[in-house]
Amino acid sequence: MAKELSVIIPVYNEQENIRPLYDALKPVLEAMGVGYEIIFVDDGSTDGTAAAIEGLASDPNVRALEFRRNFGQTAAFAAGFDHAEGEVIITMDGDLQNDPIDIPKLFDMVRNGKYDLVSGWRKNRQDSFLNRKLPSMLANWLIGKVTGVKLHDYGCSLKAYRRDVVKNLKLYGEMHRFIPAVANWYGVNVAEVETTHHPRLRGKSKYGIGRTVKVFLDLITVKFLQSFSTKPIQFFGPMGLASTAGGMVISLYLAAQKLLLGKSIGGRPLLLLGVLLIIIGVQLIGMGLLGEMIVRVYHESQKKPIYALKKIIGPDNR
C-alpha cells in the first residue's frame, strides 16, 4: 500500500517509552486504513533507546534513523522529513505526552486540502508551571508578536504537514519550533487545533527554562530571514543612514562652535560621538551592500528561486 502517512518521532534517551508508545500508536494507525510508516529518529541516545527501537524491526512499517551523536531536535526533524515518504507527515514527541488518538484529526485536516500545516495546542498542558508553562507562554506571545503568526502553542511537537511543505524547508539551530511562522511566509495555510496532553510518566524531560535564550536568539534569525533575507540593505541601510546623519549633525554643530564662536572642541566627548556615529553608519551601509552581493551570489549560483509555487495549472513547458 502506498504511503499516505508518515509519523516522525525524534527520541533521545527514551528507552522506557519506546514500546508503550509503539503499542499506543499502532492500533490508531491501523484503524485509519491508510498506508503508513513510523520513523523513529534516535538523536544519539546513550541508554538503550536504539536497542528498544531495533526490537520493533519485525514491523515492516517501522523505520529507524540513528544519529552518531546528539544533534538536537531540529536535526532529528530534518532527517525525518528527508526520509519520509507519506503525503501527510506528522511529528510528535517520544515521551508519551502527545496522544496518538489526535493523529486522525490532524491527518484529515491536511488531507482534505483545506490546510497545509496543522499545529497542536496543548490547552490543558500537564507540565510544571514555573519551569515549562510560563516560559512557553512568554515565548508563544513573543513569537506571535514578532512573526505575526499567532499560535497558542509553538512548542507542541504534534503537528501535521503536507509533504511539499516540509520538503522545501531548510532547518537549523532551534528552528523546528518556528516552522509555522516560516511556512506562513511562503503562503502556507496554517491552522491550530486542541490536542490531548499527558503528564510524563517515564524518563526525564530534556527541556528547561535555559532553552528560552536559544529560542529568543533564533527568533531574531527568523524575523531577519522572514523580512530581509532577499533585501539586507533595507535592514542595515536605514540604521546606517540614521547613524551617519546623527554624526553629521553633531559634527556640523561642533564645527560651527569652532569656526563661528572660537570654542575649543578637541577634548569634548561629543566630538568622539559624532565621529563614531559616522564610522558606524558607513559600516552598516557597507554591511548592507555586502549582504546584497552575498544574496545574489547565493541565489544565482544555486539557481535558488525567491518564490514558492503552490501549483501549476496547465502544461508545464519548462
**Is 311 contained in some domain?**
no
Residue 318 lies inside a defined structural domain of this protein: no
Q: Domain span at residue 102? A: 5-228
Picking from 204, 228, 252, the residue at the C-terminal end of a domain is 228
pLDDT (tens, 9 = 90+) of the chain, 318 residues, equals 678 999 999 999 999 999 999 999 999 999 999 999 999 999 888 888 989 998 998 899 999 898 888 888 888 888 889 889 999 999 999 888 999 999 999 999 999 878 999 999 988 887 777 767 777 788 878 888 888 888 888 888 899 999 988 877 777 667 787 888 888 877 888 999 999 988 887 767 666 555 667 777 777 777 777 777 778 888 888 999 999 999 999 999 999 988 888 888 878 889 899 999 999 999 999 988 888 888 777 656 766 655 555 555 455 555
Nearest by Cα to 143 from 133, 153, 158, 131: 153
Please check whether residues 140 and 60 belong to one and the same domain.
Answer: yes
* 88 and 139 belong to one structural domain: yes
In degrees, rounded to 5, the angle at the alpha carbon of residue 174 between the alpha carbons of residues 172 and 176 is: 80
Looking at the structure, tell me whether residues 240 and 203 fall in a common domain.
no
Do 284 and 172 belong together in one domain? no
Res 159: pLDDT: 94
d(CA 99, CA 84): 21
User: Is 315 a member of any domain?
Assistant: no
Do the Cβ atoms of 233 and 292 come closer than 8 Å?
yes
| Same domain, yes or no: 288 and 140 | no
Within this chain, do residues 84 and 195 fall inside the same structural domain, yes or no?
yes
Q: 122 with 57, same domain?
A: yes
Q: Contact 114/189 with Cβ under 8 angstroms?
A: yes
Question: Residue 150 maps to which CATH number?
Answer: 3.90.550.10
Q: Are residues 171 and 243 in the same domain?
A: no
Please report the pLDDT score of residue 283 as a whole number. 93
Residues 256 and 149 in one domain: no
Is residue 314 a part of any domain in this protein? no
Query: Could you tell me if residue 119 is inside a domain?
Result: yes
Domain count, the chain: 2
pTM, full prediction:
0.74
Last residue of a domain, one of 171, 206, 228: 228
pLDDT of residue 315: 52
Which of 192, 211, 228 delimits the end of a domain?
228
User: In this structure, is residue 31 part of a structural domain?
Assistant: yes
Q: Are residues 222 and 239 in the same domain?
A: no
Are 296 and 162 part of one and the same domain?
A: no
CA distance 258 to 265: 7
Tell me if residue 207 falls in helix, strand or coil: coil
- For residue 102, tell me if it sits in a domain: yes
Residue 312 covered by a domain: no
Contact 202, 96 (CB under 8 A): yes
Q: Are 71 and 99 in a shared domain?
A: yes
Which candidate, 8, 59, 4, places its Cα nearest to that of 35? 4
